[in-house]
Every structure is written in structure tokens, then in C-alpha cells.
Structure 1
Amino acid sequence: MKHSTRWLGTVGAVAAVSALVLSGCSTGGDTTGSGPSDNPTAGALTPVSLQLQWSAQAQFAGYYAAVDQGYYRDEGLDVTIKEGGSDIVPQDALAAGDVDYAISWVPKVLGSIEQGANITDVAQIFERSATTQISFKDKNITSPADLKGKNVGSWGYGNEWELFAGMQKDGVQLSDINLVQQAFDMSGFLAGDIDAAQAMTYNEYAQVLETINPKTGKLYQPDELNVINWNDVGTAMLQDAIWANADKLTSDSDYADQTVKFIKASIKGWIFAAGDPQKAADIVAGAGSQLPAGHQLWMTNEVNKLIWPSTNGIGMIDEAAWKNTVDIAMNTKNETGATIITKDPPETAYSNEYVTKALDELKADGVDVMGADFKPITVTLKEGGE
């Protein structure tokens, strides 16, 4: 049964405009919440807050769908979704006790954990990385080795490590390229100032395909681009995960039980998004996102590809993928020679205990948590993402 819901708060004008051009991996913006409006048992629900990395967009479609479809309420939870902002670091908000759960990339959180944040990855929602390096075909950049001597764009702020690891794996040092501070859009790339630009599959890559090629008078096409995919290179790092408070997981049995319920409902939201990406995109739009409709649907579809099909069950943390992320975080150097972390993270950095319980409950109800038959839809982009 679908429950009606009300959305508390709106995205500010600046954040709304920026949502299209800002990378989904950035930390960011205003606050959006959700709460029951017509549920007579609402007072019995447990209030729960979730901190996102950025403003409302389909990168987080599963959580918004879980609110809209009443999945959290079915588990006895009244979930408020808090949008991010340029001054908000999700893992810091969680570690400080300001929220109950947070969504963030694993490498970013590993750095925070080494600095004292006692939090745990309890569900690895994105199994694959969405970060790529794209270039126009005439630049002849098809591998990290080809970046040598080129103007290479990077957002920085913790988004650069897969790029740096891929380059260093191919023997290209930072001194071998001209590293360009890339804005959170594709303007520098489209203007020719950047030879190879960072682009998330669900956001910036689509921005290029939503732009008119002045030479042809038509939208840019995929066959005009070369894409370096870090999943193929072997330097992909784990991205969006659900993080919980490690202290409370061990000291508060109610919080531990609540975590299983939260993961279970969130997974149901992501299953919904896979089954009906158009509706999921509409739900995010209704939550306050002001991304154009076509771009929002593209984002939903591309994010689904990061999750489905699942190798071990959605949310399960793969030991090899975790180790690869940790190895890159410990051994890849930035411009100053620093690494993300200097030692192995503690055992509390991740746990499959809670997601396993959630998956077992879902499987007992006959829910497909693998998505072996998942097939993405075809999204036709239009100028400006409309």
C-alpha cells in the first residue's frame, strides 16, 4: 500500500540550479525531510534521520521511494531525509550524533575514521563505481597511460583517488599531466580547456549528451567520446553506502534492531526504483529536486546499473572490493604525496551483520534481492536534460 507523505523543506534557489551541474558524489546543500501526514499510528513510529551527500536527486532514489511507498513506516520508522550542503560532511554529522544514518563514499569515510569517527558501513548499496574520465575521440585518450601530457580535470575534494590510482597503475605520475581544477560541471571540457574530464555516469556524462555540438547542430553522441571506466581499469573504489554509529550498534540493542529495519526498507526502495525508474524519478522530483525530467530519469536508470544485478545481494559488502578500496586509499598519493589513510581501518569500519539479517527477512518474504533479471531501460536525452 502506498502511503501519502509530506516533504518538509525545499531546495534553495542556488542549490536547485546547482543540482544539475554538481557531481552526485559531492557533499552539499539544503535539507529535505519526510514525515507521515495521514497515518493514524504515526505517533508510535520511531523518528529516524538520514543525511544525504547532496540535494534531492535520483542518486538517492531508493530512500525517497522507501518514504513515498511507506516501506519505512511498515518497519515502524518515521524517516526524515536531510539533504546535504557544501558545509555538510555526512559522516561527520553521523559521528557527531546529529543524525542516525548517513550516505557517503567509502574512501571519504575511511579518512574520517582514521581521524576518529567511529562509524560503520552497514550496507554497501552501490556495488560499482560511477566515476569515469571522458574525452573527445580526437584526443586519442583510451587508457590512463594516454593521460600523460594532457590537461586532466578533477573536482578534488576526495573525488580524485580513482583517477590518481589508475594513472599510477599505468606509470603516469601527477607531474606528467597538467591537473586542472574542474568545476562541478562540464563547461571547461566543452570549451576545450580540459582534454579529459571527470564525469559521473549518472550526471556529468549525461550533461555532455544533453548539449548541442556546434559542429553538427545536433546533440553530442556517445560515439564521439572515449570513456575510461575505473571498474574496467581495476581502480574503482566503493561509493554510496549506508553508515551507522559504531558505538550505538554495540551498546544499544534497539539501535541495532532499528538498523536492520532501516536497511530492509531502504533495499525495498531500491528494488522499487529498479522496477519503475520513471515513478522513482517522479518521486524524487516531488521531494524537491529541480533537475529536468529527462536528466532525472537518466540518473535513476544509471544508478540502478550500479546496484543491479547484485553479486551477493544488494547491500552486502564484498571483501575483495573493500580490500581494493583500502589498498588504494593507503597506497595512492596526491599532489603533496599524501594518501587517504596511513594504516588499515579498524574492524568496525564495516559489517555485514545487519544487512545479512535484512536480506534474510526479505528473502523469507520472497523478495528478489539479487536482481539477476534486471534490465536497464533506454533513456533518450534531450537538450538541457528536459
Structure 2
Amino acid sequence: MQHPTRRRTLGGILAIAATAALALTGCAPGQSSPGSTAAAGSSSGALKPVKIQLQWYKQAQFAGYIEAVKQGYFKDEGLDVTLVDGGADIVPQTQLSTNKVDYAVAWVPKALASIEQGAQITDVAQIFQKSGTLQISMKSKDVGSVAAFKGKNVGSWGYGNEFELYAGMTKAGLDPAKDVKVVQQAFDMKGFLAGDIDTAQAMTYNEYAQVLESENPKTGKLFQPSDLNVVNWSDDGVGMYQDALWANSGKLASDTAYQAQTTKVVKAVLKGWMYARDNAEKTATDVVASGSQLGASHQLWQTNEVNKLVWPSPDGIGMIDKTLWDRTVSIAKTTKNGSGATVITKDPPATAYTNEYVEKALAELKSDGDDVTGSSFEPISVTLKKGGA
């Protein structure tokens, strides 16, 4: 799939986005080339082969999964796990529902749209507890609030990454179809840095850092946070649940071996995220070694920022908060894009999520003495280098 850098309106593009299987992750825009296609654990015949589909190419957004392989947590559960790279033409939830993989990582609103279209998938561990999506602008553009988007060129990746943006504009009293010019944002920050986009989408852990890794031509130094205005959709009240681990609903309903395996997979994944929390520097190094095409300082930044989206987890990492789930569903049902379509038209079925497997995994981890809440978590300080090197 091509991701054009030229500016154009998104009426047609976002209409496709709302009804397609929502291929891109919001997580990953900005990575220019793929890493290796998979990272496998031991090939021992005693281990059960399992495939987990990532949303994008390997980066610290998936640090917990990478460390679960690296540290042998999957092996400890009797599993030989392969992490399957995502990409622009891969829809994780479709890969899962068509049995090409055993589990998948996907944003909740995108998965909800796929469920409404017939995908039989279940959220079995909600890893990210809040949204990492921002809308950023240069201070010189004077776009310091959502209301100030009026009349501006508003960048959007589309393909399912735009729902918080549209919810935020609607909340601010703007008609996205009339009051702003929504333009196709490429999966990098070149258009933003060139000044073609007044306010651009960015993930806290990726594109925001890409700007801060870039040289400000006016100063000859890297851009600083003080050079930017930032709208954080979580702070704005329209943040939606993002990265979660999904399982096959049909197998959960009828296959006792798959049920037991799911508890094991969830346990290992949660343990991987605990390792990433407590070993950020080592994790960033491991992510780079796993095949990431983004540099060491960028991956350390990303590890740190992703940890902020996961920790603390007061109810235990992976637990799905019904209030936050219901808010995501409500936004998905009511927010319209430029063509008037919503993410979903009705409430998802009861099988869309369950805490059953994460509760079992947490019980085992607690009995082992593991810190499953991260109540004392403190982020580290990261210095970005030019180009994320």
C-alpha cells in the first residue's frame, strides 16, 4: 500500500477507513522500512508453536512481547512463540479471525469495527491503559487548542487512526467536514516539518519523538518541546483504548486446550511487560537487536513512553476497565468522520472482551511474588539524539 505525501482531502479516504478492516496501527506510522519478519523462540519439539501477530514492525511499542521471547517467559509456559511482523497491508484482527495466527495485537476501536464486520475475536488482555495519540503543531502556527483547528490544515493518517481526532473536533464544536481541511498525512513527519500541515497526528512514543530528533533550521539545534503545542486526546477526554492482546472467540468457546494456552500466553506477555518496566535501557537494546529500523535513543524514548501508557495498572496489568471500555464503545458509536460514518453502529457482543484469562494469569504472577500493578513506577529521563541514533 502506498502512503502518498501529497496533500489531499480525506472525505473518501476516511470513508474507506471506517469500513475497511483498519489496517494501520496508529502505533507505527513513521517506520520507513521493515525489520525481520518474525522473532522466534526456541524450536524445541517439546514446545507448542504459537504465532502472535503484531500491528507493525518490531519496535518498543511491543516491548513486552519481545522481552517475553528474549527472557524465555514463553518457553517457561511450554510455548515456542513467533512474533509476526505487521505492515501496511496486514490487518492483525483479520489474521487472527481467519486462523492465520493464534493471537493478535490491535487497537480496540479497530477491532470493534472488525467484530461488527464478522470477526470472531476477544480482547483477553488490555495492555495499554490509555491512549498515546497527540495532535501537535508548531508554536508559530498558533494552533494551541482544538478550537483553533478551524480553518487549518489538519493532518490525519486515516485508516482507523483518526477517530479520536474527529471526536475531539466534534467535542470542540467543529464540523470536521466543513470547519477544517483534513489532509492525508504520510506515515512520517516530513509534511509537518515542511509546514504543509498545521497540526499533525503523532504518537507520544514515535512521531512526537521524530520531531524532537529533527534539527530546527532556525536554531541549528534539535526541536524542543517548547517549540510545539500539543493536544493530548487522553487529557481531552476522548482517548480510546488502544493496544490489546486478542484471541479467537470461537476457540475460546469450544477448545479447552486453547483456553489453557491463552492463560499461558497472557501470563508470559504480562511478565514481559513487567521486565520492560523494570529494565527500560536493556529493553531498548533488545528491541533494536530484534530488528527495529529505528535507532537506540528513539527506542529508549519509545520504551519509556510506552511504559507510561501501561503503568501503573492499579487493577493489575492487562485488566479491562469496564468504564474505559464503555467510553471507547460510546466514542466509536457516536463519532462521525468526514463522510458521516461511525466506527461501529451498535454495541459489540459480550464476547468482545473478557477478564477471565488475565485474572488467572495475574493470580499466578501474584503467587510468584511479581509486581503486577507497578504502583511505584517512575519513568526515566531520555535524551534524544539527532535522527534517533
**TM-score with structure 1 setting the length:** 0.91
Q: Is the contact between residue 326 and residue 344 of structure 1 (CA under 8 Å) also seen in structure 2?
A: yes
Q: Which runs of 5+ in 2 are unaligned?
A: 1-24
For 1:36, give the aligned amino acid: S
The 1:23/1:318 distance shift into structure 2, 3 A limit, reads closer
> What is aligned with 2:46?
44
> What is aligned with 1:69?
71
Instruction: State how far apart, in whole Å, the 2-side matches of 1:181 and 1:92 are.
Output: 25
Q: Deviations over 1:130-155 (max 9, x none)?
A: 10000111223232111111110000
Residue 311 (structure 1) shift:
2.7
Matching residue within 135, 147, 151 for 1:149? 151
Q: Is the contact between residue 365 and residue 372 of structure 2 (CA under 8 Å) also seen in structure 1?
A: yes
Q: Is the contact between residue 105 and residue 239 of structure 1 (CA under 8 Å) also seen in structure 2?
A: yes
Matches within 5 A, 1:118-157: 118-157=120-159
Q: Is the contact between residue 49 and residue 101 of structure 1 (CA under 8 Å) also seen in structure 2?
A: yes
> What is aligned with 2:12?
none
Matches within 5 A, 1:156-305: 156-174=158-176, 175-305=178-308
Q: Deviations over 1:221-266 (max 9, x none)?
A: 0011111001111100111000000011110111111111100000
Residue 35 (structure 1) shift:
2.5
Q: Deviations over 1:20-49 (max 9, x none)?
A: xx9524699662130216xxxx21111110
Instruction: State how far apart, in whole Å, the 1-side matches of 2:300 and 2:26 are.
Output: 16
Q: Is the contact between residue 41 and residue 75 of structure 2 (CA under 8 Å) also seen in structure 1?
A: no
Q: Is the contact between residue 25 and residue 159 of structure 1 (CA under 8 Å) also seen in structure 2?
A: no
> What is aligned with 1:8?
none
1:367 aligns with 2:373: no
Q: Is the contact between residue 186 and residue 204 of structure 1 (CA under 8 Å) also seen in structure 2?
A: yes
Instruction: State how far apart, in whole Å, the 2-side matches of 1:264 and 1:23 are.
Output: 26
Instruction: State how far apart, in whole Å, the 1-side matches of 2:136 and 2:350 are.
Output: 36
> What is aligned with 2:58?
56
Instruction: State how far apart, in whole Å, the 2-side matches of 1:229 and 1:360 are.
Output: 34
Q: Is the contact between residue 25 and residue 105 of structure 1 (CA under 8 Å) also seen in structure 2?
A: no
Instruction: State how far apart, in whole Å, the 2-side matches of 1:85 and 1:218 are.
Output: 33
Matches within 5 A, 1:88-103: 88-103=90-105
Q: Deviations over 1:332-376 (max 9, x none)?
A: 001110001111000000001110111111111111111011111
Figure out how many residues of one structure are paired with residues of the other and give that number. Answer: 361
- Determine helix, strand or coil for the equivalent of 1:152: strand
Q: Is the contact between residue 23 and residue 204 of structure 1 (CA under 8 Å) also seen in structure 2?
A: no
For 1:78, give the aligned amino acid: D
**TM-score with structure 2 setting the length:** 0.91
Q: Is the contact between residue 23 and residue 184 of structure 1 (CA under 8 Å) also seen in structure 2?
A: no
For 2:104, give the aligned amino acid: A
**How many percent of aligned residue pairs carry the same amino acid?**
64
For 2:281, give the aligned amino acid: Q
Q: Is the contact between residue 23 and residue 185 of structure 1 (CA under 8 Å) also seen in structure 2?
A: no
- Determine helix, strand or coil for the equivalent of 2:378: coil
- Determine helix, strand or coil for the equivalent of 2:374: coil
Instruction: State how far apart, in whole Å, the 1-side matches of 2:141 and 2:117 are.
Output: 41
1:34 aligns with 2:40: yes
- Determine helix, strand or coil for the equivalent of 1:232: coil
For 2:272, give the aligned amino acid: G
Q: Is the contact between residue 213 and residue 384 of structure 2 (CA under 8 Å) also seen in structure 1?
A: yes
> What is aligned with 2:351?
348
> What is aligned with 2:319?
316
Matching residue within 380, 384, 388 for 1:385? 388
Instruction: State how far apart, in whole Å, the 2-side matches of 1:345 and 1:163 are.
Output: 22
Q: Deviations over 1:283-304 (max 9, x none)?
A: 1122111211111111111110
Q: Is the contact between residue 26 and residue 161 of structure 2 (CA under 8 Å) also seen in structure 1?
A: no
> What is aligned with 1:17?
none
Instruction: State how far apart, in whole Å, the 1-side matches of 2:144 and 2:374 are.
Output: 31
Instruction: State how far apart, in whole Å, the 1-side matches of 2:281 and 2:28 are.
Output: 22
Q: Which runs of 5+ in 1 are unaligned?
A: 1-21
Instruction: State how far apart, in whole Å, the 1-side matches of 2:238 and 2:115 are.
Output: 21
Q: What stretches of structure 1 move > 3 A for 4+ residues in a row?
A: 25-30
Instruction: State how far apart, in whole Å, the 1-side matches of 2:45 and 2:148 are.
Output: 59
Instruction: State how far apart, in whole Å, the 2-side matches of 1:33 and 1:247 are.
Output: 27
Instruction: State how far apart, in whole Å, the 2-side matches of 1:258 and 1:147 are.
Output: 48
Matches within 5 A, 1:9-24: 24=27
Residue 213 (structure 1) shift:
0.6
